[in-house]
Amino acid sequence: MCGIIGISSSKPVVNNIISSLKKLEYRGYDSAGIATFSDKFIDEVKCEGRVGKLEKIVSKKSLKGIVGIGHVRWATHGVPNEINAHPHSSDRVSVVHNGIIENSTILKKILEKKGYQFKSQTDTEVITILLTENLKNNKLLVAVQKTLEKLHGSYALAILCKDNPDLIVGARRGSPLAVGYGHNENYLGSDSYALKSMTNKISYLDDGDICILKKDSAEFYNSKGKKINKKILTMSETEDNYDKGDFKTFMQKEIFEQPNSVKSCINEYVDHLRDDINIYNFPWDITKIDSVVLIGCGTAYHACMVAKYWIEELTSLEVAIDIASEFRYKRNKFKNNCIYIFVSQSGETADTFAALELCKKNKMKTLSVVNVVESSIARNSNFVLPIHCGAEICVASTKAFLGQMLVLYVLILKISSLRGDIKKKDYEAKIKLLKKLPEAIRNTLSTESEMEEISDIFSEAKGSMFLGRGYSYPIAMEGALKLKELCYVHAEGYPAGEMKHGPLALIESGMPVVIIAPRDKYYEKTLSNMQEVIARGAKVLFISNKSKDEISSDNVWKKIEVEKTSDELLPFLLTIPLQLLAFYAAKNKGYDIDKPRNLAKSVTVE
Ligand code: G6P
């Protein structure tokens, strides 16, 4: 995690660094810092807390530097405080870092023996000191190379060096770093988002690359020290919408954008005139594929879980799913006739990226489902299917989850039709229904006021459970995750049928339990599981879909009904009230909904 910005310009850079840091806050927001050159000094300002606080402190100083670096932190080594905030500086260099230096303890001991003293508890300060030591006898580039050779782990770095006040050094291994090209100024950023308001021309560093950035040039060297050229890419849009509009939080805005984001995504993949799905340039003969593995983290993993049910239901393919941090280290049986699908909103999640790299190394077929098309995961996959939902700012994912499910659903439907696993008539009927999904989502958003009313029970609870079967099981997991991350209440998502094997012991009088039981083939079974928790005192919030038949239980505390649609499309609708529940439960507590404690949106450490 952590966000990095660097600017080399002919005019003062502090304001642009601060506004880029605000955009990067989704990568970390426990502390922030900035360093710029002024005459022969490096001016440094750091603080615990948000960029807003840093901005106030900076406004009282006069940082006139025309070359500078900035950082937002998500703590790995050392508590979030001013001392541990980046940059970490010596009398010669100032360093900001994203990643983890795994051998920092050993290096620190070696450097301490040489007489160096450390101020912070961070792994990053080791880079500062090691580089300072190497600069004693080497020119800048060689000193940087010698320093990087000694580091184990991952890094994206931006470095100021007192003896070279016109430049910034950038380096990457394992954590992304981009260079942006402007008019008489150039930029370094931990992703293209940070640079979008300043330029749409960018190059990406590859692992092992170093760059020397000046206001009018960017030189690149690969891991062998050879000077290399980089492709300059033009980004798709120049600026994303970072405005909350009429909403007070990005989360609420993003929840309410879902009818439109789903519609835009459908417009990208579903033929307007015919009931067909267009996926152009699909690189493999799908009839020769016999299995699919889906990989993701967090909410993206829940989208993979839903997709597994769709693949089992709609195709003859074998399917497996994995959490990226597990997949990357276990012994996988790689298969040539398999497509490995990586699901990630940001496209930068370190574990998912490492899982992709592992598949690439084993020459596997890779496909990514991402929101950020310029991301590392997208750039390194054989084939990319974007989710087209626009920038998602709130740390907790909402519209991207629906987008991920949607793209996976259209992909699966298309595969099913191309393989002859589904009848043409059924395929077309499913697409017809899919076209109605945005409207069904819009109508389901009307559950907002009921969810607001119910939410205080969840805010105050010691713990809660979310239960479902079939498609509703991953949705229960996602509902529980949303409540945990936003409201800091223990919430467990569980397959309803598994309760009797342990978790039932947790149920006590008054405990809120969400039962997700649409009228699908599991309905009756889930109702029985619901009675089992009611009998033990649970307060049941029952979520189903509209139907002419009444919901049959009088013992239910509250009932919520989403719109009618096919069983396959219900996950999209059942998610909506759960998003609203977590949103209002966190709002009741006065928490920072867009930036929950301890978390970050783009998780670029493992
Ligand atoms: C973080 C975010 C989650 C997200 C997960 C995976 O934990 O807070 O909302 O689901 O990362 O992110 P990705 O960008 O790979 O979808």
**Could you give all domains of the chain from N- to C-terminal order, each with its CATH number?**
3-234 (3.60.20.10), 250-435 (3.40.50.10490), 447-589 (3.40.50.10490)
Distance 413 CA to ligand 1 centre (A): 25
pLDDT for the residue numbered 238: 46
Which residue of the set 2, 265, 304, 359 is catalytic?
2
Mean pLDDT of 144-158: 95
Q: Which of 306, 399, 603 to mutate to test the pocket of ligand 1 (most atoms within 8 A of CB)?
A: 603
Is the model's pLDDT at 239 over the cut of 70? Answer: no
> Given a cut of 80, is residue 193 above it in pLDDT?
no
Could you read off the pLDDT of 423-439 as tens digits, one per residue? 999 999 999 999 999 99
Q: What is the pLDDT of residues 277-305, one digit of tens each?
A: 999 899 999 999 999 999 999 999 999 99
In the chain, helix, strand, coil percent, each to 5?
Answer: 40, 25, 40
- The letter for the amino acid at 364 is M
Ligand 1 atom closest to the Cα of residue 600 is 8
CA–CA distance, 406 with 270 (Å, rounded to integer)? 11
Q: How far is the CA of 195 from the centre of ligand 1 (A)?
A: 21
What's the Cα-to-Cα distance from 263 to each of 140, 192, 387, 388, 550, rounded to whole Å? 52, 26, 11, 10, 31
Cα(520)–Cα(517) distance, integer angstroms: 8
Residue 431 in 3-state DSSP?
A: helix
* Distance from C-alpha of 298 to C-alpha of 319, rounded to nearest angstrom: 19
What pTM, to 2 d.p., does this model score? Answer: 0.85
240-254, 318-332, 459-473: lowest mean pLDDT where?
240-254
Asked if the model's pLDDT at residue 570 lies above 80, the reply is: yes
Mean pLDDT of 321-330: 96
pLDDT of residue 225: 86
Q: How far apart are CA 147 and CA 312, in angstroms?
A: 51
Q: Tell me if 456 sits within 8 A of 541, measured CB to CB.
A: no
The strand ranges marked E within 215-254 are 217-221, 227-228, 233-234
Calpha distance 543→515 (Å, rounded): 6
Protein residues with CB under 6 Å of any ligand 1 atom: 297-300, 344-346, 349, 352, 395-397, 599, 601, 603
Sole residue written with tokens 């998500």:
74
pLDDT given at position 175? 86
Q: Count H helices and E strands in the chain, helices first.
A: 18, 25
Query: Which of 294, 325, 345 has the most ligand 1 atoms within 8 A of CB, as the residue to mutate?
Result: 345
Asked whether residue 141 carries a pLDDT value surpassing 60, the answer given is: yes
Distance 482 CA to ligand 1 centre (A): 12
The alpha-helical segments, DSSP class H, found in 187-277 are 250-256, 258-269
Smallest CA-to-CA distance from 520 within 496, 499, 500 is with: 496
Indicate if 601 belongs to the active site: yes
